[in-house]
Structure 1
Amino acid sequence: MPRRMSYRQIADDIAARIATGEYPPESKIPSYSQLSELYSVSVATVQRALLVLHSRSVVYGEPGRGVYVKGHDDS
Structure 2
Amino acid sequence: MLRGYRIIENENMVERKQIRTHRKRRINKKWAKRYGFNVIPKKGIFVMGSTLIMHPTVAQIVRQQVGAV
Same fold (TM over 0.5): no
Indicate the structure (1 or 2) with the bigger Cα radius of gyration. Answer: 2
Greater share of residues in strand = 2
Greater share of residues in helix = 1
TM-score category of the 2 structures, normalised to the smaller one: under 0.3
